[in-house]
């Protein structure tokens, strides 16, 4: 296979690794010799958070394993944009089987490696929120429960994006999707539904669970490396804004992810053996409106007939997260 | 070694002799005894260098098999009925990816109404899944077919489903000859995958293919199955040469040479039909049987040769295509195209209904007098049917 050399289109940004800094202070991403799981040329939308998150996560996993790894991919945007035959962006052994079975396929790969005495090769499975917390949830839970030696990474863009932005159980309340339209008495996705993949993962008592966003790529890299230091089932849930599905500007992907964290809407934490061991504190708390108003999926909450009641409800939910996870020091209650 | 043992146990022994590296299955009657036995062998250390994975569903079982086979491990699973349908999406995926997984199907009816007894509704539902389908007539053949299945699958990179009748075979105690490890090792070389997930030589498996190449990919799968027609015959002959008994092959004829009426069937019912044929032959009736061992790929040429000379073929089917009738019949008819042979479908044994010699004799009698309807349900209780039809109007 021909290995593609890395191209840099940007200079100096946080994203490509601070290449204007002194060499000692630069991140690995600024090095054209760095690991490179997912090469350029794939078909993701401009500003796709999933493409960014996947590259950083899998690059970090490659570094942690010295390239000795196999990736399993669920159906979804990541799979479709990275591999349209006869092309592939993957520079690692990679297999896609179905939408709902990535965790089980990974179990099988891990079992094969164990039978062959090749546990030096590590297994990473990855999928979107739909492939993870909806259709693939049974397989995922089984993989967790058996403590199979797999790191599962969920790229959460809060909907079924590949099929045209439909609701998943990770779609937040009030968000518009093609199947939760802004019609009827409760416009957008309804309140009181949905589930938390990371908390359910923790309830399995697995070794390591973490959440991350593409706004803090160092943190994401650290968490992947940390995850790879364990054997057994591990789970990382990454918030990856989707400009197409969220109706946000391509250039705002990082900002959306940062605001999700800084509002408390998306708690960033680490858990070991089912206990939270670390939370990323909110640096300066931002009201949810700053986050919501930049996304067309929430446009019905603002504008001509605004819904401050719905915004207030979402604010309550964010505040609840802040309390539960102790995201702001002075309002911290007991750890969740 | 000769052994008086349960069909399931015989299959488990055969699988163990094939040195599987990953076994992954989910329990369902009547498959359970096979995987229970294998589980014990792995856990007790009798079967080494093998992982036995207990999963949470058949969908997960086949998915894990996909992963392990793609990673280059010889992989086995077993299921039945609802389990096969539950894994259906992954069944098609495994063949699409060209993964040489071997699966036992302990044939069982599909609900509703839920029914645990034998018929072929499950495997017939996966008729077009791209898997090779072999049907065992006896426990000995079930055992032997599994050994051949790994070789066939791995030579062609196509998964193989070995179908054996649930309970009738899986739970029957019979004498079987279990080969030695040396014999099996000599017959079945280690698995060399066509492509494998390997960090040293990374490849992407399972990429999306668009309209410009999808037809070609499907055609190649078809061509591979056509190749399997020769491979099944060759491997069957090889097996006979190494193990000294006839087992496998595409089909088996029984007293068909000068037969006017020939029954075509699959699986364990062949024994009952053969017994009936013997009785009728003793009375001077010219009847015979063809047992299809291979159903996918369909042995069109061999079947045409076996049936071409007779005047009537009865396809005895243990499955029903609701709204059509027979399933195997369509393929049998296609292989007889242009020949003056009448073809009749007899649906029998659904949901474990015993197929009795007396009923088969009646069927043969009706066939020779010309009274057998083109589509007959053997031993159908019309009183019960009519009562229910009247009730619902
Ligand atoms: C069994 C099955 N059902 C439905 C689909 C259609 N489908 C493909 S991708 C997808 C949505 C993927 O959503 P997600 O997992 O969140 O990934 P994303 O595309 O958002 O990254 C759906 C519904 C499918 N491929 N297979
Ligand atoms: S739809 Fe969203 S997730 Fe999919 S490629 Fe575009 S930006 Fe990425
Ligand atoms: Mg999604």
Flag whether residue A116 sits within 8 Å of chain B, measured between CB atoms.
Answer: yes
pTM > 0.90: yes
Convert the pLDDT of each residue in A60-109 to its tens digit: 999 999 999 999 999 999 999 999 888 999 999 999 999 999 999 999 99
Tokens of A308: 């401050």
ipTM over 0.95: yes
Residues facing A170 on adjacent strands = none
Asked if B323 contacts B307 with a C-beta cutoff of 8 angstroms, the reply is no
A127 lines ligand 1 (CB under 6 A): yes
Residue A110 has pLDDT above 80, yes or no: yes
Contacting residues for A199 by C-beta, under 8 A, at least 6 apart: none
A79 lines ligand 1 (CB under 6 A): no
Convert the pLDDT of each residue in B69-85 to its tens digit: 999 999 999 999 999 99
Average of per-residue pLDDT values in chain B = 98
Asked if B11 contacts B180 with a C-beta cutoff of 8 angstroms, the reply is no
Please tell me the distance from the alpha carbon of residue A104 to that of residue A141, in angstroms, as a whole number: 10
DSSP element (H, E) containing B22: strand B22-25
Ligand 2, residue A76: give the atom nearest the CA: 4
Chain position carrying tokens 């490509």: A16
CATH number for the domain running over B251-387: 3.40.50.920
Contacting residues for A159 by C-beta, under 8 A, at least 6 apart: A129, A130, A165, A166, A167, A168, A170, A171, A175, A177, A242, A245
Please tell me the distance from the alpha carbon of residue B38 to that of residue B54, in angstroms, as a whole number: 12
Whether residues A112 and B73 touch (CB distance < 8 A) is answered with yes
CATH number for the domain running over B2-243: 3.40.50.970
B252: left (phi over 0), alpha (psi -120 to 50) or beta: beta
pLDDT of residue A21: 67
Q: Residue whose CA is closest, atom 9 of ligand 1?
A: A76
Q: Which ligand is nearest to the CA of A157?
A: 3
Whether residues B204 and A84 touch (CB distance < 8 A) is answered with no
* A133, A160, A238, best to mutate for ligand 1 pocket (most atoms within 8 Å of CB): A160
Same fold yes or no, B2-243 and B251-387: yes
pLDDT of residue A24: 72
Flag whether residue A106 sits within 8 Å of chain B, measured between CB atoms.
Answer: yes
A111: chain B residues, CB-CB within 8 Å: 22, 24, 51, 53, 64, 67-68, 73
Three-state DSSP string of chain A? CCCCCCCCCCCCCCCCCCCCCCHHHCCHHHCCCCCCCECCCCCCCCCCHHHHHHHHHHHHHHHHHCCCEEEEECCCHHHHHHCECCCCCECCCEEECCCCCHHHHHHHHHHHHHHCCCCCCEEEEEEEHHHHHHCCHHHHHHHHHCCCCEEEEEEECCCECCCCCECCCCCCCCCCECCECCCCCCCCCCCCCCCCHHHHHHHCCCCEEEEEECCCHHHHHHHHHHHHCCCCCEEEEEECCCHHHHCCCHHHHHHHHHHHHHCCCCCCEEEECCEEEEECCCCCCCCHHHHHCCCHHHHHHCCCCCCHHHHHHHHHHHHHHHHHHCCCHHHCCCCC
Q: Which ligand is nearest to the CA of A241?
A: 2
Whether residues B67 and A121 touch (CB distance < 8 A) is answered with no
Contacting residues for B65 by C-beta, under 8 A, at least 6 apart: A108, B22, B24, B75, B76, B77, B90, B94, B99, B101, B103
Which residue, A285, A292, A284, is CA-closest to A308? A292
How remote is the CA of residue A97 from the centroid of ligand 1, in Å?
Answer: 12
Residue A10 has pLDDT above 50, yes or no: no
Which residue, A274, A294, A292, A110, is CA-closest to A198? A274
Convert the pLDDT of each residue in A144-196 to its tens digit: 999 999 999 999 999 999 999 999 999 999 999 999 999 998 999 999 999 99
Q: What fold does the segment set A35-325 form as a domain?
A: Rossmann fold (3.40.50)
* A131, A179, A243, best to mutate for ligand 1 pocket (most atoms within 8 Å of CB): A131
Mutate to test the interface with B, among A67, A86, A101, A117 (most CBs of B within 10 A): A101
pLDDT of residue A19: 56
* CATH 3.40.50.970 boundaries in chain A: 35-325
Domain ranges of chain B: 2-243, 251-387
For the four alpha carbons of A261, A262, A263 and A269, in that order, the dihedral sign comes to positive
Please tell me the distance from the alpha carbon of residue A151 to that of residue A45, in angstroms, as a whole number: 26
Distance of CA A45 to the CA centre of its chain: 16
pLDDT tens over chain B, length 393 residues: 999 999 999 999 999 999 999 999 999 999 999 999 999 999 999 999 999 999 999 999 999 999 999 999 999 999 999 999 999 999 999 999 999 999 999 999 999 999 999 999 999 999 999 999 999 999 999 999 999 999 999 999 999 999 999 999 999 999 999 999 999 999 999 999 999 999 999 999 999 999 999 999 999 999 999 999 999 999 999 999 999 999 999 999 999 999 999 999 999 999 999 999 999 999 999 999 999 999 999 999 999 999 999 999 999 999 999 999 999 999 999 999 999 999 999 999 999 999 999 999 999 999 999 999 999 999 999 999 999 999 998
Please tell me the distance from the alpha carbon of residue B300 to that of residue B202, in angstroms, as a whole number: 40
Please tell me the distance from the alpha carbon of residue B225 to that of residue B130, in angstroms, as a whole number: 8
Q: What does each C-alpha distance from A190 to A121, A299, B154 come to in angstroms?
A: 43, 15, 51
List strand residue ranges (DSSP E) for B187-317, in order. Answer: 204-205, 251-254, 261-265, 287-292, 294-296, 312-317
Residue B200 is given by DSSP the state T
Q: What is the dihedral of CA A126, A130, A133, A134, to 10 degrees?
A: -130
Which residue, B388, B161, B185, B177, is CA-closest to B297? B161
């Amino acid at each position: 296979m021909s290995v593609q050399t890395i191209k840099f289109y940007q200079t100096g940004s946080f994203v490509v690794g601070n290449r204007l800094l002194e060499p000692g202070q630069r991140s690995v991403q600024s090095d054209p010799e760095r690991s490179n799981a997912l090469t350029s040329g794939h078909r993701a939308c401009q500003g796709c958070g999933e493409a960014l998150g996947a590259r950083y996560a899998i690059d970090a996993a490659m570094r942690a394993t010295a390239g000795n790894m196999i990736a399993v991919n669920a159906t979804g945007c990541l799979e479709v944009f990275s591999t349209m035959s006869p092309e592939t962006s993957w520079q690692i052994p990679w297999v896609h089987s179905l939408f709902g079975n990535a965790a089980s396929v990974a179990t099988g790969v891990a079992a094969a490696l164990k039978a062959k005495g090749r546990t030096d090769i590590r297994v990473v499975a990855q999928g979107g929120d739909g492939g993870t917390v909806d259709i693939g949830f049974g397989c995922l839970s089984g993989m967790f429960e058996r403590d199979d030696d797999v790191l599962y990474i969920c790229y959460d863009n809060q909907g079924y994006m590949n099929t045209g932005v439909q609701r998943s159980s990770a779609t937040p309340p009030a968000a518009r999707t093609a199947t939760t339209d802004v019609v009827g008495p409760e416009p957008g996705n309804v309140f009181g539904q949905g589930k938390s993949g990371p908390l359910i993962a923790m309830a399995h008592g697995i070794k390591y669970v973490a959440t991350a966003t593409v706004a803090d790529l160092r943190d994401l890299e650290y968490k992947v490396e940390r995850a790879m230091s364990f054997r057994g089932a591990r789970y990382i849930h990454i918030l990856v804004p989707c400009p197409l599905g969220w109706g946000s500007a391509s250039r705002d992907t990082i900002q959306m992810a940062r605001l999700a964290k800084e509002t408390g809407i998306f708690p960033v934490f680490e858990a070991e053996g089912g206990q939270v061991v670390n939370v990323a504190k909110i640096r300066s708390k931002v009201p949810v409106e700053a986050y919501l108003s930049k996304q067309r999926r929430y446009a019905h909450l603002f504008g001509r007939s605004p819904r401050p009641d719905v915004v207030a409800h979402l604010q309550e939910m964010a505040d609840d997260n802040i309390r539960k996870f102790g995201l702001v020091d002075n309002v911290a209650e007991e750890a969740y | 070694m000769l052994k008086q043992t349960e069909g399931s146990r015989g299959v488990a022994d055969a699988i163990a002799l094939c040195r599987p590296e990953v076994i992954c299955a989910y329990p369902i009657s009547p498959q359970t005894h096979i995987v229970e036995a294998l589980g014990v062998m792995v856990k007790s250390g009798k079967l080494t260098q093998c992982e036995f994975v207990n999963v949470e569903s058949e969908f997960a079982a086949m998915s894990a098999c996909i992963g392990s086979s793609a990673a280059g491990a010889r992989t086995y699973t077993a299921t039945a009925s609802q389990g096969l349908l539950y894994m259906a999406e992954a069944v098609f995926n495994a063949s699409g990816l060209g993964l040489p997984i071997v699966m036992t199907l302990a044939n069982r009816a599909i609900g509703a109404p839920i029914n645990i007894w034998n018929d072929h509704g499950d495997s017939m539902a996966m008729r077009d899944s791209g898997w090779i389908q072999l049907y065992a007539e006896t426990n000995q053949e079930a055992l032997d077919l599994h050994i051949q299945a790994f070789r066939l699958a791995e030579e062609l990179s196509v998964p193989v489903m070995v179908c054996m009748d649930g309970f009738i075979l899986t739970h029957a105690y019979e004498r079987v000859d279990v080969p030695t490890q040396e014999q099996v090792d000599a017959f079945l070389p280690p698995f060399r995958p066509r492509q494998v997930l390997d960090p040293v030589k990374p490849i992407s498996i399972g990429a999306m293919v668009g309209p410009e190449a999808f037809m070609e990919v499907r055609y190649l799968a078809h061509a591979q199955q056509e190749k399997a027609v020769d491979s099944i015959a060759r491997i069957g002959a090889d097996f006979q040469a190494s193990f000294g008994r006839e087992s496998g092959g595409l089909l088996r004829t029984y007293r068909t040479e000068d037969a006017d009426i020939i029954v075509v069937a699959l699986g364990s019912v062949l024994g009952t039909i053969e017994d009936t044929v013997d009785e009728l032959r003793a009375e001077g009736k010219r009847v015979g049987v063809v047992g299809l061992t291979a159903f996918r790929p369909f042995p069109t040429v061999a079947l045409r040769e076996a049936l071409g000379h007779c005047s009537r073929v009865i396809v005895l089917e243990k499955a029903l295509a609701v709204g059509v009738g027979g399933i195997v019949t369509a393929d049998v008819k296609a292989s007889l195209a242009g020949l003056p042979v009448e073809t009749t479908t007899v649906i029998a044994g659904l949901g474990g209904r015993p197929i009795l010699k007396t009923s088969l004799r009646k069927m043969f009698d009706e066939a020779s007098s010309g009274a057998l309807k083109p589509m007959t349900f053997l031993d159908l209780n019309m009183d019960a049917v009519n009562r229910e039809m009247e009730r619902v109007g």
